[in-house]
A and B are shown apart, each in its own frame.
Chain A
Amino acid sequence: MSNNDETQVSKSRMHGLWALTNRELKKWYQQPFVLAMGIIQPILWLALLGKAMNIGNIVTGIPGINPTQVMMHTFGTKDYFSFMSMSMVAFTVVFTTAFVGMSVVWDKRLGFMNKVLSTPVSRSAIILSKVLAASVRALFQSAIVALVAFALGLSTGTNFGWYSILGIFAIVFLISVGLASFFTALTLRTTRMEMPQAIFQLVTLPLMFASSAYFPIAQMPNWLQAIASVNPISYTIDAVRRLMVFSDGFGPLPLDFAYVGIFAIVVTTICIVLSWRYLNK
């Protein structure tokens, strides 16, 4: 070891990004239990919730009413499971990315954050590593949900094609980046463990019910429609449904992508700007 070593170190602004992201991912894929829980949870959601709420059955057997027509009219799918299961693809992202806050707080409490802050890694690389790791996990989980939905009898619409797979990955990635940045930003200042948990509980319920996850927005009261129509989850769910289970053309798909894409960029930018201010106290 000598001090007059002239090793060329990376001057890239984003050096360390992959190392930090990989650290997060290792914690995940090297732990079979965590990985298994992450797979089992969405299966339970789909199997229990998706199959228990069979709205199609409610209108079955009434004279003069064609259940499939009613379902197509209200939900745009032949059965409720096909409608609901696709929102679960999007919702898995909320559940997965929400835990990014936990990892931010742990890193601070254990001093890891301070150590990283004392190295020449840019603050944006620290934030983006959290966001990317959460997004990779979210992509994986959503893919599992989609596969399970197929296995449990999803009926695809006429819009469905090979491009749907790519499209879903793209929209899920965008919303993951946006939500992971959102949850990261909310925990930038705190070192309390209760904080990310409280945020998770506070945020997920409105995100879920003030969206088109369980019910079409058109059927909601006006005030709820107003909230649901700015909720980026609604746009994500609409994109997923359009690509997978709807049959009435792609219509607003570009709007869905644009909205979620802008949401991701704006929130990530805000999160990085806040990190310059709050990561160094």
Chain B
Amino acid sequence: MPTLDDERFEAYLKQFRPLLPEPLPAVALSRGARRTFALGAWAAAAVAALVLVALTLHIRTNRARVTEIVGNVGNPEHFQESQPLTMRSANALMAKAPSFKAMVDDMAFRSQTVPLPKGKHSVVAVLGKEKIKL
């Protein structure tokens, strides 16, 4: 229970009204810190530009490679010379050839430039030897 003195003292204290706080002082950047910040910003911008250029080049190269592959799908010589037979290329060849037999014959009697690993046989060579009734 507060005594009368306490109450009077409290009343005295309450006469002092708190002032509004001043805004916090802005922390000024030192010259060195400012220079470091500017250097960092330039370095970040340079790295970003390099990454952008590398990405653009990468995408363009990929696009050119895809275009080349797509363009070569219908060319039987391309498959014969550079890569093994796949379903896709076989389909492309079948679409172009007048008949299945003509296609197999055409591929089987061409010389194979890509050497196969030991113990593996070319599908085209096997199909060419088999007697398939059409």
Bound pair: A and B? no
Show the binding face of B for A, using Cβ within 8 Å.
Answer: none
